[in-house]
A and B are shown apart, each in its own frame.
Chain A
């Protein structure tokens, strides 16, 4: 039992967790038919999270984190995310089959086209929902009361100090980036990027009906951003981040004295001091020139390169401005996992570190 637990702890290390989740997402999209139409596979996908949480709850350390009033809804949310992605994919696959056979999609069937009245049909349903949800919330708040803590003290930060659950993804990104980037720029890009989707991608396919085959890239990119870079990071922040913001396995005791050596090194130091063996130049532009070049290549050369090769299809389809916008937003999104993995493997701190101007990437 102990060895199994320690193995699972290892599997939940962020490096492995994120990689396996990406693979699982790819596999789910690739073998979507098997995953949603096969009864056993569906049961496995929907049942595994439940079984995992149920069995894990027997373990002491997992139970401590699981039963916290703040964390209970997160566990529910995780299952619902799995469920709704599965459900949407199931409907998409069914419609894709219909489209392939030349039949109309499910949503266009005559009996689905039928309309109902707002009054009484919709209002009645809404009333019922209001009642049920209110009862549930009252019962919940009585059974699992939210904790009231002592008055805030500016000199005392609780350890670990966690953001509200919906910001835990951002807090995780803050570990790898400068606050200006992770706290201001990236959230702005997320919001603006989501708003810009209809301009970047005016493709009308999939409007009003479920499909996957007609929109595979778009849906996968969205799922990557939502499931991996948002929901998974919330899970990580909730269950795997402990005292001193160290990583802890799901069955690991939150030891305040756990020491994780994390000596971080800037790219400039890697190159000037370790690779070239000369000292760090004192002028910032010379010191950071490699990082600036690298980022310049990443943000300006890559889109051009991709427009000629890998993403040529998209470039021709989308036109210049939507392509530039879309590819730059995409590169920003990808920078997050890239930076995370560089931190976890090479302890890279910043590509460009100019503390003189508060400019660090």
Chain B
């Protein structure tokens, strides 16, 4: 320990400029290029990964779509034909129509409509919903969400999924969440 310190002091007296420092300064441009190249390559890789967050093709089903004329639907049924394409169920009861969004309110799986048991049932953790969308079994904490529904000018039913109605927020009382049709 003592040796080291004395050596250091000797060094300083003999050569006032630290040779290591000079070496460092001489190498500075090289070091700069090396680190610059390193940072650039890391940056490119990072940018490349970020690029993945913006895919070229985006699978996004249309948010607004027509589903046909009111008379196409039978009273008291749930039509599942729009589930694959638009991710909704259309329910026709004796007063009219409403549209349920086919996303489980538990963790987002797609439930199935079981017509013989008269309920929507989720295959992931077993949540069950009545035809109205109200949750009654399993872990789902909220009822299914409803989408806006109206009649288009041509007489077809127009669904707007960008407008969602949540039961627990009182959204189902909103006139656009239900289409009266005798």
Contact = CB atoms under 8 A, between A and B. Distances in A.
Contacts of A156: 84, 110
Interface of B: 59, 83-85, 87, 102, 106-107, 109-112, 114, 116-117, 121-126, 128, 136-139, 141-142, 168-169
A264 B141 contact: no
Contact of A358 (B109, B126, B141): B141
A246 interface: yes
A70 interface: no
Contacts of B124: 157, 160-161, 171, 174, 245
A174 B139 contact: yes
Nearest to A182: B139
Contacts of A345: none
B168 A355 contact: yes
Nearest to A176: B139
Contacts of A261: 137
5 contacts: A155-B83, A157-B110, A175-B126, A245-B122, A350-B141
Contact of A262 (B116, B126, B169): B126
A159 B112 contact: yes
Contact of A174 (B102, B107, B128): B107
Contacts of A171: 124-125
A354 to B, nearest CB: 9
Interface string A347-361: 001100101101010
A353 B83 contact: no
Contacts of A155: 83-85, 87, 102, 110
A259 interface: yes
Interface of A, secondary structure class, is loop
A246 B112 CA distance: 14
Given A157-B110, A262-B138, A353-B141, 7 more contacts: A156-B84, A157-B123, A160-B124, A175-B125, A244-B121, A259-B117, A262-B128
Nearest to A154: B59
A154 B126 CA distance: 18
Interface centre among A159, A179, A244 (most CB of B within 10 A): A244
Nearest to A247: B126
Interface in A155-173: 155-161, 171
A244 B168 contact: no
A264 B136 contact: yes
A175 B138 contact: yes
Contacts of B106: 174, 179
Contacts of B125: 171, 174-175, 245
A158 B122 CA distance: 10
Nearest to B125: A175
A348 B126 CA distance: 15
A257 interface: yes
Contacts of A349: 139
A360 B122 contact: no
B141 A355 contact: yes
Contacts of B123: 157-161, 243-245
Interface in A202-230: none
A264 B87 contact: no
A252 to B, nearest CB: 16
A156 B83 CA distance: 9
Nearest to A265: B136
B109 A157 contact: yes
Contacts of B110: 154-157
Nearest to A153: B84
Contacts of B126: 175, 244-246, 262
A257 B137 contact: no
A309 to B, nearest CB: 34
A179 B107 contact: yes
Given A244-B126, A355-B141, A263 B136 contact: yes
